[in-house]
Structure 1
Amino acid sequence: MSDIQPEKKIYSLDFNYLYGKPTCTARFKQHCEDFRVEEHLDFELTGEGEHVCLWVKKIGENTDYLARQLAKFAGIAAKNVSYAGLKDRHAETYQWFSLYIPGKITPDFSTFESEGVTILKVIRHNKKLRTGCLDGNKFAIVLREVSDKNALQIALDKAQNGVPNYFGNQRFGFDGHNVNAALQLFNGRKIKDRFKRGMYLSAARSYLFNRVISQRISDNLQSSPLLGDCVQFVANRSFFPLPDLSEQTLQRLTAGEVCLTAPLWGAGELTSIDDAKQYELDCLAEFEDLQAGLAKEGLKQERRPLLLIPEQFSYQWLDDSSVKVEFYLPSGCYATSVIRELIEISG
């Protein structure tokens, strides 16, 4: 296959806002402690087994780097350390790591030293922690130097009712670099690094998802179903296409029993049908190269909720220009999707 790569495309990251572009500015992540995130696993640890699980508080530290430090301290290979999710470096995070230490005495982690890192709990478990094995994350975010308290107050009251469930722009890289890298991969570029390969595939898939949501907001269809829209049962996350737009269907949407979704692209037919299927195909018509590449790489058609409703949402004004916002999000959802609806970030 030819090594000549296509000219880089411009992938706009200017996705539509649900409530209009914020008029208020504020400082976001001015200090690590201004962005606090706490993992919640979707299962209970057993207390016994071949894996040592560590509940760790870290401030200003990279997740993967810390995993390597823990491996070195325990005298095991880095590949035998896993974690449920990557967390921001510029943050105060509380997260789980697991170390595969079969048939050995648990190391004394009270002697582990690393700047900004505190091991809060040590417990055995019978399985390794795998990426994504979270129920969700609890966030506590402080916004400082708020330019317009009244404007932010209005935005806060709106955001707790739902925001676009966008993948964060950090996933796409500067100027959409990671999406371009995926396109190069689809056109024959060899990428041996599995992490980078996965990152590029995820960026392309996430970009298509965001584009559908952005278009639906532009057409004022973020809450209004189309015939054939694929909806998700909130309780068990199963999917089905809407065969009609009956009053009963609309009531289930309004009550929150089911929610509208957008496609995570892959091989096979879209699970939406009729008008909704055609709408999604039209939204993504200019990105057939990304669609074809994702399908060829073996990803499957999946769905993801179109809107994100923050749970346990609350806020407290610390003074006239600083506010602390707290909420809980399901695994795989981004706090920045909430913050972008509140403020124009000034730093």
Structure 2
Amino acid sequence: MERNTLSCFISNHVGFHGTIKNSPQDFVVIEIDTNGQLVNSVNTKEERPCQATKRIDMKLIPSKPDDTDSLIQDCFDLNLILGPSVNRELEHFTNKLKVKPCSDDQEKVELLLGTFPDKHMRAVVHRAVRFNFPFLQTLTNQSEIRVREDPDFQELAGLASEGEAEDFFRFIDAKTPGSVFTFLPDDSKEHRTSVHHFVSRRFGKLVETKSFVDQQKTCITARLRERGKQAKKRTMTDFHMQEESLYTAFTLRKENLETLEAISYMAAVLGVLPSDFTYAGIKDKRAITYQAMVVKKISPERLLEKGSEFERRGMQISHVRPAFEALKLGRLQGNHFELVIRDLKHHGKHGLAELPQLIEEAVENVKNKGFVNYYGPQRFGSGSCVQADQVGLALLKENMEASVKLFFTPEDDDDLQNKAKRHFLHTGNAKESLALMPAYKARERLMLRALHRYGSGQEGCTRGWLSLPHSMRVFYLHSYCSRVWNQAAKYRLQNLGFKPVQGDLVWAESVKGLKDATEELSAPQIHVVTSDEEKNEVFSLDQVILPMPGNSVKYPENLLGQWYQDRLAQDGLECCRFRVTPLKLNVPGCYRPLLAKPLNITYSLQTSSSDESNTHCLSLNFDLEASCYATVCLGEIMKTNLS
């Protein structure tokens, strides 16, 4: 399979030679959380001026509420919570409903507000939308929130006034203990009975209603029911206290370790499963990285007790605190990079004296024009003999035995883990291989235990994969799809040029404000460029998106679409459903922008002299949005294929 030949560049500057990752200290990666803060900062409330905040309009609340969260949670400003673009769509949607409300026999019209991975943020959205528009019903499907007209509101508005219905629904949503809502006086007993019946049928578990006479006029009151002792045992405070005891959040600093390798080691030390750790993203191995993590079933005290053992493996933990829930993959704003490029040399005819000019031109070009948004090498694992995409391809073909052999293919190193892998491939003896495998190689040990118990046939290999956490299993499938995306990007630029053409896919204008909120978008939000739009240059190249293969994506309607079909057929996946049912894996696919841009970029050139020569190094600091790769950005800056 084609690999390290990603040679398409966007800018035409000369670039320069240099070496990266001479040491882990030369490549520092720090996650930027959803509040725009570096995860290794201490009590920093000031947001970084990162343009990536435009991507995170709908992911502003972290897993553990703090003072900043309270401000947002107590706010009903949809412009802040949803973002201006989505709020405008919502207002337009509600205006249409007021003009022509849905009747019971009409198909219910819905509006997608977006994807909200964090449950606290979903609660904020539900509450704010209903406060501003009590006649709307908010619906959650997994992480998506949609709104539609609430038939209960329409029914009550027919019994009382629209203003009363709005105030009553706000009263219900507020759930303020001891609060009472009073309807306007009503002299019709039959009408009052209808109101009683409606409230009892729809909200009877929450409120009770009574009629009373005030100044010879009869009114209906609704009062929140008092909770008994049984209900008191399940208050939100108690619920949060229980969850705090289950989850511990922390920042992990690791050096020269893969994220999954670090997790495996920590799991072995703590006596939990690797699946008990959750993280927002996978970080480079050959680097010093800081990333947020959450571990389940471990208290902060217990985690801190093991700090010295972690340090022996190049890991440090900090910012240890109770958390309310696991950390979701992708729940970050991006990453901050602090890089050093050493041994700078010119390309071709240029001399060292021209280096400052070459560097300035390169950095400014990439700052303004961006770079091809290839997936970087860490997406495919650190192995040089067999990479993760090959394992993923075998899994997509449901060839379990081949996938396990690829999984255990050793590198050239003669360390203990590679000796264990060689022993398994040569002898097939999982028990003996397990005895050789280091304790911190949790993935390999889990697989070997299952193979020892169930055998090395198709069924045993399936059991072996099922013994790994879901996130680890699906990583290999995503790796294969990422490889195809990289090759598709190269084909697109080489064969269709550097302007949008007919059949390309772009973000639909109706969701332009949402386009960067999540990597995954459904087909109805995708627009196919027309012939007239190509001719009139309606779109720019940075609006073009390419699909990652999956069972729910739309492919381009031009040469690139045919290329996808041919490429998958080349790997024997022409009929692939992108589901591996035996392993409970499903790959719906997603869309990825063809181009990306670094943000907040700064640089400095340094020269050191010796008796024989001068050496130059470049310090580069910048931010990238989630799922973008610094090595690919550097490749564009230096005009060197680093991937």
The offset of 1:209, in angstroms, is: 1.3
How far apart in 1 are the matches of 2:603 and 2:512? 25
How far apart in 2 are the matches of 1:283 and 1:40? 36
List runs of 5+ in structure 1 lacking aligned partners.
1-9
How do residues 1-347 of structure 1 correspond to structure 2 at under 5 angstroms? Answer: 10-18=1-9, 19=11, 24-42=16-34, 43-46=61-64, 49=244, 50-71=246-267, 74=270, 76-101=272-297, 106-107=301-302, 109=304, 112-113=307-308, 114-115=311-312, 116-148=314-346, 149=355, 150-160=357-367, 161-172=369-380, 174=384, 177-190=387-400, 191=403, 192=462, 193=465, 197-219=473-495, 221-222=497-498, 224-232=499-507, 235-237=513-515, 239-242=525-528, 244=530, 245-246=532-533, 250=537, 253=540, 259-267=543-551, 271=554, 276-289=556-569, 290=571, 291-292=573-574, 294-297=576-579, 298-319=586-607, 321-343=616-638, 344=640
How far apart in 2 are the matches of 1:21 and 1:174? 31
Contact between 1:179 and 1:200, CA under 8 Å: does it hold in 2? yes
Q: Which moved more, 1:135-144 or 1:207-216?
A: 207-216
Using a 3 Å threshold, how does the CA distance of structure 1 residues 124 and 249 change in structure 2: closer, same or farther?
Answer: farther
User: What residue identity is the alignment partner of 1:271?
Assistant: K
User: What residue identity is the alignment partner of 1:24?
Assistant: F
The offset of 1:29, in angstroms, is: 0.4
The offset of 1:151, in angstroms, is: 3.6
Q: Which moved more, 1:89-98 or 1:108-117?
A: 108-117
Name the SS for the 1:58 alignment partner: strand
Matching residue of 1:7: none
Using a 3 Å threshold, how does the CA distance of structure 1 residues 105 and 317 change in structure 2: closer, same or farther?
Answer: closer
How far apart in 2 are the matches of 1:73 and 1:180? 31
Contact between 1:12 and 1:176, CA under 8 Å: does it hold in 2? no
How far apart in 2 are the matches of 1:108 and 1:247? 57
The offset of 1:112, in angstroms, is: 1.4
Question: Normalising by structure 1, what TM-score?
Answer: 0.80
How far apart in 2 are the matches of 1:77 and 1:186? 25
How far apart in 2 are the matches of 1:300 and 1:16? 29
Using a 3 Å threshold, how does the CA distance of structure 1 residues 39 and 105 change in structure 2: closer, same or farther?
Answer: closer
How far apart in 2 are the matches of 1:288 and 1:61? 33
The offset of 1:335, in angstroms, is: 1.2
The offset of 1:65, in angstroms, is: 3.8
How far apart in 1 are the matches of 2:393 and 2:252? 37
How far apart in 2 are the matches of 1:301 and 1:58? 30
List runs of 5+ in structure 2 lacking aligned partners.
35-60, 66-239, 347-354, 404-461, 516-520, 580-585, 608-614
The offset of 1:300, in angstroms, is: 2.3
Contact between 2:504 and 2:557, CA under 8 Å: does it hold in 1? yes
Using a 3 Å threshold, how does the CA distance of structure 1 residues 310 and 178 change in structure 2: closer, same or farther?
Answer: same
Contact between 1:271 and 1:301, CA under 8 Å: does it hold in 2? no
Name the SS for the 2:487 alignment partner: helix
How far apart in 2 are the matches of 1:240 and 1:106? 48
Q: Deviations over 1:155-206 (max 9, x none)?
A: 2222222100111244346488544444444445214435675344223211
Contact between 1:68 and 1:81, CA under 8 Å: does it hold in 2? no
Using a 3 Å threshold, how does the CA distance of structure 1 residues 310 and 278 change in structure 2: closer, same or farther?
Answer: same
Using a 3 Å threshold, how does the CA distance of structure 1 residues 285 and 12 change in structure 2: closer, same or farther?
Answer: farther
Q: Which moved more, 1:82-91 or 1:176-185?
A: 176-185
Matching residue of 1:5: none
Contact between 1:11 and 1:176, CA under 8 Å: does it hold in 2? no
How far apart in 1 are the matches of 2:472 and 2:253? 27
User: What residue identity is the alignment partner of 1:342?
Assistant: I
How far apart in 2 are the matches of 1:177 and 1:69? 21
The offset of 1:135, in angstroms, is: 1.9
State the Cα RMSD in Å.
3.3
Name the SS for the 1:26 alignment partner: strand
Q: Deviations over 1:57-86 (max 9, x none)?
A: 222334334334444555544432222222
Name the SS for the 2:317 alignment partner: strand
Percent pairwise identity? 20
Name the SS for the 1:94 alignment partner: strand
Contact between 1:316 and 1:323, CA under 8 Å: does it hold in 2? yes
How far apart in 2 are the matches of 1:127 and 1:248? 50
User: What residue identity is the alignment partner of 1:282?
Assistant: Q
How far apart in 2 are the matches of 1:118 and 1:179? 30
Using a 3 Å threshold, how does the CA distance of structure 1 residues 101 and 248 change in structure 2: closer, same or farther?
Answer: farther
Q: Deviations over 1:196-223 (max 9, x none)?
A: 753442232112211221122214633x
Which has a greater percent of strand?
1
Which has a greater percent of helix?
2
User: What residue identity is the alignment partner of 1:100?
Assistant: K
Name the SS for the 1:146 alignment partner: strand
Equivalent pairs counted in the alignment come to 328
How far apart in 1 are the matches of 2:280 and 2:562? 36
User: What residue identity is the alignment partner of 2:526?
Assistant: F
How far apart in 2 are the matches of 1:26 and 1:300? 39
Q: Which moved more, 1:78-87 or 1:209-218?
A: 78-87
Structure possessing the higher relative contact order (Cα contacts under 8 Å, 6 or more residues apart): 1
